Amino acid sequence: MDIHKKQERAALAEKQSIEEAKAWLVAEEKGALRGLTHDLLHPFLAWYYGVELWTCDGESFPAVVIPVDPVRKVGKDGEVLEAWNPSVARASIETDWACVDRSFVELRKRAGSKIENLQTFCLERVYLRDQVPVLRGNLVGYYEDCLATCDAIERELLLAFASNPPNTADVVEFDRFAKANLALRNAAKAFCVERSASPYLTGIGRSAAIAVSTLLFAKMPDRSVVTFLGQRSGKTAAHPYLMHVVPSGMFQPIWHWQNPGRSMDSQYYSTEWSLRNHVLRELAHELFGRDIHSDLARQPPETPDVIFGYPEVKYLDHLITSGKANLFVTAVLVNLLNLRPEIATVLIIDDPKWYDQHSRGTHGLPRFARSWEFLNDVKLVVWTPTQGDRSQDLRSQLGGVTSRNFVVPGAITFLLGLRFARTSHWTLKP
């Protein structure tokens, strides 16, 4: 056989392999959706972890939520982040984990998901300080490790609920179901129990990468207020096609300042352990289509301050400094589906020039541009001078805000952010 025919056959086999991976992934996603909507999923998780699930307007969500009450302004009333400690910071590595399944990651990569394996800030534990939830980090992992530990646990659970769900909400039946189907989740829980640690308020036994979700309110020149939501693209590694707030993303450094090791003592990790810097960067990526990772790969940064070279980041940072925009924390939560910690925030931009100038692309600022992570641009009006609060109409347009059509932390961030803006801030008041 000549070399050209060998190459043709190899290319055909590669194409068939990719198509098979895509077909398998589609089938898995359909199964996961069936599991996600099963009536016994929420009661099972409440029983399994011995917790009360968060509810809003009669709708339950598979999450433990610790509200920040009163809501804290980032940088003024204190952070929900414990100060980063370079002297004890270290890498999250596989020998620390109780469960890992990389087949989930490999399948998604094979089927064409865009997975950027960047470093992530990971959770050590959540605790209360003066009744305010605080996250301790001091751990640096990688995104694929989070997928292989946390998201693999979710995949296992949802596929089990799709194919072999518990028959009743009976404790004995729940126990049978868990023992028969949830090897990864059981291993993670047992690992924590053996160490007298919470299986959800600590990151023990997995690479528990932290994420941040932000509900954005922006005033327009006519005094109306808009927010931004989006349906996640099928190329995303987790939760494709579900709705999410924009911006939202993994809490992570912009650069691998050190290779993973038992000592991660670079002071730059301390600088990047910042909600404000994270939200500024994520907003540039998801609302303006900036590919910051590719930019930095071409020209590696010398310091984390490189993000302020982007005009949209510099402008919004100025608005926050001047008090014309404010970032608040509304809750710390843990999604019980994948045991990932999340910080819920709300960003309120009072200066109408921000929306006006970005809409027109004036004053050296970029126009709004959709990120590859979302299928559509969803700009929704939530308040007008003539009609007042339109958030209920907005929720109806979306078909409700539930864990069946939203990424769980996105739904909770949306609902808490609306509540805050409606009751504690003038933005949505007459």
350 burial level (CB within 10 Å; 0-12, 13-18, 19+): middle
pLDDT of residue 22: 60
pLDDT of residue 78: 57
Length of the chain: 430
pLDDT of residue 27: 63
Spell out where 58-138 has E strands: 59-61, 63-73, 90-91, 119-122, 125-129, 132-136
CA–CA distance from 92 to each of 123, 177, 237, 411 (Å)?
10, 31, 20, 29
Beta pairing class for 340-349 and 211-219: parallel
Closest CA to 61 of 405, 300, 330: 405
3-state secondary structure of 163: helix
Cis peptide before 70 (omega within 30 of 0): yes
* Token pair listed for 67: 């509200």
What pLDDT tens digit does each residue of the chain (430 aa) get? 455 444 444 444 444 455 655 665 566 677 678 889 999 999 999 999 999 999 998 999 999 999 998 788 887 545 799 999 999 999 999 999 999 999 888 888 887 778 889 999 999 999 999 889 999 999 999 999 999 999 999 999 999 999 999 999 999 999 999 999 999 999 999 999 999 999 999 999 999 999 999 999 999 999 889 999 988 877 776 777 788 999 999 999 999 999 888 788 999 999 999 999 999 999 999 999 999 999 999 999 999 999 999 999 999 999 999 999 999 999 999 999 999 999 999 999 999 999 999 999 999 999 998 887 787 766 778 878 777 778 788 888 888 899 998 999 999 999 999 999 887 765 665 4
pLDDT of residue 263: 85
Distance CA 426, CA 186 (A): 46
Amino acid at 372: W
Count Cβ atoms below 10 Å from residue 379 Cβ, excluding itself: 15
* Token pair listed for 237: 């590694």
Closest CA to 349 of 383, 388, 369, 320: 320
* Token pair listed for 267: 């002071």
Cis peptide before 352 (omega within 30 of 0): no
* Token pair listed for 203: 């990151």
Q: What is the DSSP string of 290-337?
A: --HHHHHHHS--SSGGGGGGSHHHHHHHHHHHHTSEEEEEEEEEEETT
Which domains does the chain possess? 211-428 (3.90.79.10)
Distance CA 89, CA 273 (A): 12
